[in-house]
Amino acid sequence: RDPETSRDTPEPLYEATKRGEREPGQQKAFEEIRRALTNAPSLGLPDTSKPCFLYVHERTGVVVGVLTQMLGSWHCPVAYLSKQLDSVAQGWPLCLQALAATALLVSEADKLTMGHTWY
């Protein structure tokens, strides 16, 4: 995934869920996500004997993250996460938005790790 071209891609799709038809920008975002998913590294199966690592990024109210585990010396992705900050959190200062984004994905990642240790 090229972070420079697709970092705002999910945002138009949130609007598409509210209406029945896709606009051209939404169709383009859908195609970019489909292309990114077919080219993304394959996900590994979570190993409960290994710790997990969560990487989080927030931009314009959209929070994305990847949950990884070590496979040799590499961080192998086991889950890709994406959420949108609520309108209240989007009005907060950037430092608090970063905390809200992390907390949001921590709660999502916790569902996948079943309470297992992660960093």
Show pLDDT as tens, one digit a residue, over the chain (119 residues). Answer: 444 444 555 666 666 666 667 777 778 888 887 887 777 677 888 888 888 999 999 998 999 999 999 988 999 999 999 999 999 999 999 999 999 999 999 999 888 887 776 66
Q: Residue 96 has what pLDDT?
A: 95
Q: Using CA atoms, how far apart are residues 94 and 44, in angstroms rounded to an integer?
A: 33
Going 37 to 41 to 45 to 51, the CA torsion angle's sign is negative
CA-to-CA dists, residue 46 to 52, 64, 99, angstroms: 9, 19, 25
pLDDT digits (tens, 9 = 90+) for 19-43: 667 777 778 888 887 887 777 677 8
Q: Which domains does the chain have, with CATH numbers?
A: 1-40 (no CATH), 41-119 (3.10.20.370)
Closest CA to 18 of 100, 84, 64: 84
Q: Residue 82 has what pLDDT?
A: 93
